[in-house]
Amino acid sequence: MKSLAELEALRKSTLEKINLRKEDGDGARVVVGMATCGIAAGARPVLNAFMEEIAKRNLDNVTVTQTGCIGLCQYEPIVEIYTPGLEKVTYAKVKPEMVAQIVTEHIVNGKPCSQYTIGNVQK
Amino acid sequence: MRELSLHILDIVQNSITAGAKLVIINIVEDINLDELVIEIIDNGKGMDDETIKRVMDPFYTTRTTRKVGLGIPLFKNAALTTGGKFYITSRQGSGTIETAVFKHSSIDRQPIGDMSQTMLTLMTGNENIDFLYYHRYVSGEQNDQFIFDTRQIKQALGGADVNVPEIYMWIKEYIQEGISNLYGGVQ
């Protein structure tokens, strides 16, 4: 049975790592649409998949944020990725299975997965 | 929406938009009464009677990007299809309470779903808002509860980031374990 004391101990043991996390804001930003349309289309597992994949790979300067409805409900779940030096990329109808690939190819290697972008996804 | 936890995530977004600083999510499963009650209580800006009537209407929304607002109508419908009830009470300036009552054994009742994902989504997306998730399970003589209070979590973390992998995963497992204990260790 887990207790909050355990969490405190865990925090102390990871303190060093926490201190190393950059706050300089030059990393990639992942924005997931979390309005009714996004949630109903399956945005929550997508958001969680991004959190876990980024955590797993220790991508300290990548932030994941949530936004409301951008008016393209038929394309939800929509994920926008802002990376320094690259244009904003909008992914449409994202599934949790795509997340590892998007993180590896786009965020780590700087090559957006064009097959999943909004321009290439059928309505 | 396929799970009640998704409805909860969606309805709580309204509380956040209403400027709530604390949102309480109450889930009570009472097998003896064959009832599942979900209550969402916030201290946001509240609504007047006119607005309460209008939010039940799918063609009412405060947003500007589209003309429909389905969050509350979908949640209400999920409760009513089980033979349940749905109410909103609100006072301007003090907050809103939404209550959905489901028939627990109804074949049309959606599963509660993954509350750990809902809580983590809320927590990581809204660092300045506190969430209290309270889940009670009553069956026969059994009467157990699980409480997840982000204020306690924040205190234990002492300002550390929830997004640190070990911490994020620990919180996820903590919630999953707490809920599965209510059902006698099985999910």
What is the interface pTM, i.e. ipTM, of the complex?
0.79
Percent residues over pLDDT 70 in chain B: 94
Identify the pLDDT of residue B129. 94
For residue B173, which residues of chain A lie inside 8 Å, CB to CB?
Answer: 2
CA A42, A45, A47, A53 torsion-angle sign: negative
Contact (CB, 8 A) for B131 and B176: no
- Per residue in B41-82, pLDDT tens? 999 999 888 888 888 877 777 766 665 568 888 999 999 999
Q: How many CB atoms sit inside 10 A of residue B78's CB?
A: 22
What's the N-to-C CA distance of chain B in angstroms?
A: 20
Which residues in chain A show pLDDT less than 70? 15-25, 123
**A36-49: burial string, b at 16+ Cβ within 10 Å, e else:** bbbbbbbbbbbbbb
Identify the pLDDT of residue B65. 60
Among A45, A64, A69, whose Cβ lies nearest the Cβ of B117? A45
Is cis: bond before A77, omega within 30 of 0?
yes
Please state, in angstroms and rounded to a whole number, the distance separating the CA atoms of residues B146 and B129: 20
Please state, in angstroms and rounded to a whole number, the distance separating the CA atoms of residues B10 and B90: 18
Identify the pLDDT of residue A9. 86
Q: Strand, helix or coil at B65? A: coil
CB spacing of B170 vs A7 below 8 angstroms: yes
Among B10, B161, B173, whose Cβ lies nearest the Cβ of A18? B161
For residue A40, which residues of chain B lie inside 8 Å, CB to CB?
Answer: 1, 6, 10, 70, 74
Q: Indicate if the pLDDT at residue B118 is higher than 60.
A: yes
Q: In terms of CA atoms, which chain A residue is nearest residue B6? A: A39
**pTM assigned to the model:** 0.86
A 16-35: CB under 8 A from B: 17-18, 21, 34-35
For residue A2, which residues of chain B lie inside 8 Å, CB to CB?
Answer: 170, 173-174, 177-178
Please state, in angstroms and rounded to a whole number, the distance separating the CA atoms of residues B34 and B23: 26
Please state, in angstroms and rounded to a whole number, the distance separating the CA atoms of residues A87 and A110: 11
Rounded to 10 degrees, what is the CA torsion of A23, A24, A28, A33? 50
Among A39, A51, A68, whose Cβ lies nearest the Cβ of B6? A39
Q: Indicate if the pLDDT at residue B139 is higher than 80.
A: yes
CB spacing of B160 vs A7 below 8 angstroms: no
Q: In terms of CA atoms, which chain A residue is nearest residue B171? A: A7
Q: Please give, rounded to a whole number of angstroms, the shortest distance from the CA of B18 to a CA of chain A.
A: 14
CB spacing of A55 vs B158 below 8 angstroms: no
Amino acid code (one letter) for B69: G
Closest CA to B41 of B117, B112, B152, B130: B130
A 53-112: CB under 8 A from B: 54-56, 58, 64-66, 68-71, 73
Identify the pLDDT of residue A114. 93
